[in-house]
Structure 1
Amino acid sequence: ILFVDLPSYRNAFPEQHSAFLHQFQEIVSNRRTNLATDVAFEKRWIVNSLLNFKAVLNTPNILVERAGHFKNQPAILVAAGPSLDYELENLKHIKENGQAYIFTVGSAVNSLLSAGIRPDAQCTYDPGADNQGMVFARITKEGINDIPLIFGSSVGYEVLQNYPGQNKLHMITSQDTISSYLLKLDNENQLDGVMDAPTIAIVTLQLLYKLGFNPIILVGQNLAYADNNYYAGGIEYGDKFRLTQTDGLICVKDVEGKEVYTSLVFDRMRANMEQFIQHMTDVNIINTTRGGAAIKGTTYHTLDELMTSGVLSSNVVEQEWYNIPPTVYDRDYLCRYFNRLEKDYQQLPVLLEQVNRTLEEIRILKEDRNYEQINRCWPKLDRVFNKVKKNLFYKQVIHPMNRVTYNLYFGKLPTVRFEPNQGLKADVIIASLGRAVYDSMVDMQALKPLMNDLSQCIR
């Protein structure tokens, strides 16, 4: 993107110009980040959701089964930032005395394990394969089976296949278009879930808020570097992420008003967390992260202060709180809606092939320079592609798996639709829609065994 401005505006309105430029750069940066995330995970989100569906059916939905159960109970959300090292003894005392529910996110569980602390639950949602290879490698290797796992339904399937513990609970994530379509509770209550976010800490913050925890206490939520460290101790791969240079980093205010180095990725996470917190009412979110980036909407207190002031004093943790039977979803609804999905799954290859043939017809006409006949093909292409767009399997599975290529095509339509040069118009549409349709047909083949497994699981 090339940003061109008038120097006279820059001189006449320096503050407004600077504010606009900063916001513009932020929007572009966020868009690039979101696009990179979609490219990396668009297929994994759906594949994971399909492979994890059996686990979802066989485990309790924590937001359903524990709704209101933890009202006004204290919860500690433990992230893996370097300031976690300061709090390990405090966390050990809190755990031994049941003074708060301790939820670990990401690599923090490994720091706690190294300190001899078992959290009350480990939360996970990361769709990537590295989630198993890094975060859960120690748990799997040592066969640690006494930590309950709360998983997002689109989490990397490898985690669920290898997790040694039996106590698993699920939450439906916004990237899981399978469960959100197929599942309904027996009663008329709305099926609640969590929104996808840049970090598991934000997803877990949503979860704890929805469960009624209050206060919610953040530990190790640095979102910045401390003593050149990215991670707390006790994490096997932590040294690989140590800070070696400050190029590309920015300075932000920490919880005590001092300046700390952070990355653009960390800063986006902080901004995203602040956006979620802004909509959380009637809850006290306390940030105890020494030297961590200041997070709007939270108050800063040390964990020592909370322990001596009475905020964390009584034994509140219910033993085996996670011992819940699987959630009973409406089986008739599930079977009925799966039948519709399966029917459209079987029909979609034919519809995609019709689009493909029409694009090929346009390509041949373009080579023959038969522009008049090309112009007559556009209504036909609209008709066949509209059938694809109405197809349920396309909506719930194929489009989410190829959102980047389809959205690029849809983004070009407004400018190319009224292009008088039929050859140029043909080139743009064949290249963009043709790529999306080709990728969709490849995915349809790859999904065959997953759909067979899903059918057996439901029936």
Structure 2
Amino acid sequence: MEGEGMLIDKNIEILQQNEMHWIGNLTPSSITHEFISSEDSRAEYFKDKYGKVYRTEDLYDKTYNITPLKKEIIFVIGINSINELKELYKRINKDSFLVVIEPNLSFLNYVLYYKNLDLFQNKNVILFSDNIERLNDFIRGFFSNYGLLGLAKNINFYQTDYYRKYDMEITKQCLQIIREVVRNLILSVGNSIEDGLDGLKNNLENLKWLEKSKDVSQLKNRYKDKPAIVVSAGPSLNKNIKELKRAKNKAVIIAVDTIVNKLLIEDIVPDFVCSVERVPEVYEYFYKDKNIPKEVTLVGPPLLDTRIFSEFQGEIILPMRKGVAEYNWLKQLLVLNDDSFIEMGSSCAHVAFGLAMHIGASPIILVGQDLAYGSKEGESHASGTIYESKVQDQKAESLIQDYKIEGYYGGLVSTTYIWGYFKQWFEAQISNQQLFVINATEGGAKISFTVQKPLKETIDTYCLEEIDSVERMVKTINTYGINIGDMKDALYKELDYFSTFKEKCTDQLKSIKELKINYSSSQKKLTKAIKELQKSNYIMNEIIRHDLLRHNLQSIVVKFLWDINGVEQVINAKNILKNKEIQIKMLIPTIVCVEQIEDYINDVLKNYI
């Protein structure tokens, strides 16, 4: 076809200009449809590998409802109908984002050669074209930007002609992945400032234990290419727990807090026990009056209940929590390096897995990682754990409805949205880091990108040689070597910063409250009010810039962006009054939060360091 060389070069150049695009590898096996002929400038014929012919039309769906007065994210399924995409782009808000998802690489290959992709020169038009299993990773990365997460409640979907007519199933899969990822991201933002501040209080009070903690950066790659077994508390552990004894001293055994007492009863002493939650129940259920041997090392963030650190008999390691802004703030405060961080996700099993990655273990072997209910109704944990005798938190359960996902042995198993989120985290880590992970759970949910193998066979294959004693290795590691004087100076500087920031917030709140707007206000007065409201942009930008503010106010920031993006971009009294109300709701808790941060820092300076 004339000009095909010129188009492929031009199109590749266009797509290379935006790093947000995600494009998979085009291989012969990924080409399942081939172009046959065109009827006119809008109709084309394709044939799949089975010989079935499809007629597509490059026509916009006029029944689709557009809301051009609001910013949105519109996920579009299909790239082949370029004119259809261009027509859609013309109709949307200029600040909206068009995210084109093409799960069939055959169509990507075709348009690269034969169609002009100049639409993608617009920075708000993003392309994903890869195996649908990678869509999860793309969506998570896409929403890592606060501005885009702020549009998460303004999402729409559009199907191009081929998918409207012939492949609703792949469209449903795409929509399900997007909805699950967005829901989980919203859950991860947190619901209250109080929750974040409680965590800050623990982090600050445990600074004294950081001084005594072994330096986790010195653990980096200490067990490179040696096996590690991450022992979780899923119900399938009942069937293979006794196999673990054979792996002692031949693999690093990393247990979650929920299961450590059960392991000790079975005469299995893990090398590490991992915790992540700050709630008092973690101390009361898993550590209080528990005779955990001194050879076991505790690994958990300084977020934990301080009683855990004070009563634990063995060594303690307090790593920073990778990907969490509050710990970036602590890193600067304590002058730590990047290897002081490990991946911790949202569960103690994630901490254990993050530790296995940090020490360079391979393979990483998962046991008891069901992420689904067991064969008995409501069975969520292995026998012998605290959850066998205690009723689950009904409030938490009400937030995580049950649903079905693919099981370890095929078929469907029952899980919850929270466990689904945990599963997505594992899959993202394994895929992104290209890890060798064996799922030896022998039950529960299927975890993508893992090799499934029974625990007995896994131990017989990979746990053959003695490894260096973990207990002795930990004892050789130095503590963090934190300078208390420098830390105090840094905290006093932060107090000065927070005082200035709080004053600016208070002044802006006063100015906004004094705005007098009603439905008879002149256009001049409305324009002046907008300029005053826009001064809050400094405050919002400062919150996002400062790690500690961003962490503790992220729920306020995201809620503010959701509400603001829900207001039509039309200058009138109604919209300005809405904007005013939204900003007041943002500024009041921001001031309260900063005051609480100041109190906590003053308290730790007075009583703990």
Per the normalisation by structure 1, the TM-score is 0.82
Query: Does 306-315 or 165-174 show the bigger shift?
Result: 306-315
**Alignment partner of 1:172 is 2:320:** yes
Relative distance call for 1:142 and 1:390 in structure 2 (3 A) is closer
**Which amino acid is 1:252 matched to?**
E
User: What is the Cα deviation at residue 314 of structure 1?
Assistant: 2.6
Task: State how far apart, in whole Å, the 2-side matches of 1:344 and 1:43 are.
Answer: 18
The CA distance in 1 between the partners of 2:284 and 2:185, in whole Å, is 24
Rg (Cα) greater in structure: 2
How far does the alpha carbon of each residue in 1:214-236 deviate from its partner, in whole angstroms, 9 at most, with x for none?
Answer: 22111111122222221011112
Whether the aligned pair in 2 keeps the contact of 1:42 and 1:403 (CA below 8 Å) is: no
Query: Aligned with 1:221: secondary structure?
Result: coil
What are the superposed Cα offsets for residues 332-382 of structure 1, whole Å, 9 maximum, x if unpaired?
8756644432211222221121021012112xx126954544532433443
Measure, in 2, the Cα distance between the counterparts of 1:315 and 1:360. 66
What displacement does 1:457 show? 7.8
- Could you tell me whether the CA contact under 8 Å between 2:553 and 2:590 is conserved in 1? yes
Q: Return the alpha-carbon distance in structure 1 between the equivalents of residues 416 and 447 of structure 2.
A: 15
1:36, distance to aligned residue in structure 2 (A)? 3.1
Amino acid in the other structure paired with 1:115: E
Q: For the residues of structure 2 that align with 1:453 and 1:3, how far apart are their CA atoms?
A: 44
Q: CA-to-partner distance for each residue in 1:109-151, whole Å, 9 max, x for gaps?
A: 23213323332111112244443344x2xx2133546332101
1:51 aligns with 2:218: no
Are residues 128 and 14 of structure 1, via their aligned partners in 2, closer, same or farther at CA, if it must alter by over 3 Å? farther
- Unpaired stretches in structure 1, ≥5 consecutive residues: none
Larger relative contact order (CA 8 Å, sep ≥ 6): 1
Which of 191, 206, 219 aligns to 1:39? It is 191
Structure-2 residue corresponding to 1:91: 244
Cα distance in structure 2, aligned partners of 1:437 and 1:91: 54
Cα distance in 2 for partners of 1:395, 1:431 equals 25
Q: Distance in 1 between matches of 2:306 and 2:486?
A: 29
> Pick from 193, 199, 206: which aligns with 2:347?
199
Bigger fraction of residues in strand = 2
CA shift digits 1:71-100 (9 cap, x unpaired): 2222111000112122332223433xx222
1:443 positional shift? 2.2
Name the counterpart of 1:231: 381
Q: Structure 2 stretches of 5 or more lacking a match?
A: 1-152, 394-400
Please name the residue that 1:328 is paired with. Answer: 481
Structure-1 separation of matches of 2:593 and 2:207: 19
2:435 pairs with 1:292? no
Aligned to 1:378: 530
Answer yes or no: is the 8 Å Cα contact 2:301–2:319 preserved in 1. yes
Cα 1:196/1:76, change in 2 over 3 Å: closer
Label 1:18 to 1:106 Cα distance change in 2 as closer, same or farther (>3 A).
farther
- Check the 8 A contact 1:46/1:400 in 2, yes or no: no
CA RMSD of aligned residues (A): 3.5
What secondary structure, in the 3-state scheme, does the structure 2 residue paired with 1:212 have? Answer: coil
Letter in 1 for 2:471: Q
CA distance in 2, matches of 1:217, 1:446: 43
Q: Any residues of structure 2 matched to 1:243-254 within 5 Å, and which?
A: 248-254=402-408
8 A contact 2:533–2:580 mirrored in 1: no
Q: For residue 347 of structure 2, what is the amino acid of its counterpart?
A: T
TM-score by length of 2: 0.64
C-alpha spacing 1:234/1:378, structure 2 compared with 1 (3 Å) = same
Determine the C-alpha separation between the residues in 2 that align with 1:403 and 1:195. 20
SS in structure 2 at match of 1:13: helix
Q: Amino acid of the residue matched to residue 442 of structure 1?
A: V
1:256-275 Cα shifts (integer Å, max 9, x gaps): 44554333433332232111
Kept in 1, the 8 Å contact 2:405–2:414? The answer is: yes
Distance 1:437 1:2, change over 3 A: closer
1:152 matched to 2:301: yes
Letter in 2 for 1:34: L
**Structure 1 counterpart of 2:453, one-letter code:** H
**For 1:218, which of 347, 366, 372 is the aligned residue?**
366
Q: How does 1:448-459 map to 2 (within 5 A)?
A: 448-456=598-606
Match of 1:401 in 2: 552
2:370 alignment partner AA: N
Letter of the 1:81 counterpart: G
How far did residue 58 of structure 1 move? 3.0
Shift of 1:458: 9.2
Which of 14, 17, 21 aligns to 2:172? It is 21
After superposition, what is the alpha-carbon deviation per residue over 1:302-338, rounded to whole angstroms, capped at 9, x for unaligned? 2222333463343543433322332125778756644
> For 1:74, which of 215, 227, 231 is the aligned residue?
227
Are residues 388 and 236 of structure 1, via their aligned partners in 2, closer, same or farther at CA, if it must alter by over 3 Å?
Answer: closer
Task: Call closer, same or farther: CA 1:436–1:310 in 2, change over 3 Å.
Answer: closer
Distance 1:388 1:299 in 2: 45
CA contact (8 A) 2:205 2:306 kept: no
Matched, 1:120 2:271: yes
Distance 1:8 1:432, change over 3 A: closer
Q: Partners in 2 of 1:12 and 1:397 — Cα distance? A: 46
Pair 424,342 (structure 1): closer, same or farther in 2 beyond 3 Å: same
Q: SS where residue 279 of structure 1 aligns?
A: helix
Aligned counterparts of 1:290 and 1:52: Cα–Cα separation in 2: 39
Give the share of equivalent positions with the same residue, in percent: 18
Q: Provide the secondary structure at the position in 1 that maps to 2:472.
A: coil
Tell me the distance in 2 between the aligned counterparts of 1:384 and 1:219.
50
> Is the CA contact (8 Å cut-off) linking 1:184 and 1:333 kept in structure 2?
no
Q: Displacement of 1:277 after TM fit?
A: 0.1
State the alpha-carbon separation in 1 of the partners of residues 284 and 458 from structure 2.
36
**1:128–1:370 CA distance, 2 compared to 1 (3 A):** farther
Q: Distance in 2 between matches of 1:117 and 1:448?
A: 45
Once the two structures are superposed, residues 187-227 of structure 1 have per-residue CA deviations (whole angstroms, 9 ceiling, x without a partner) of xx644523452433233222211211122111111122222
SS in 2 for 1:102: strand
What CA distance in whole angstroms lies between the structure 1 residues aligned with 2:540 and 2:413? 51
Cα 1:339–1:445 shift into 2, 3 Å: closer
In structure 2, the partner of 1:346 is 499
Equivalent of 2:471 in 306, 319, 323 = 319
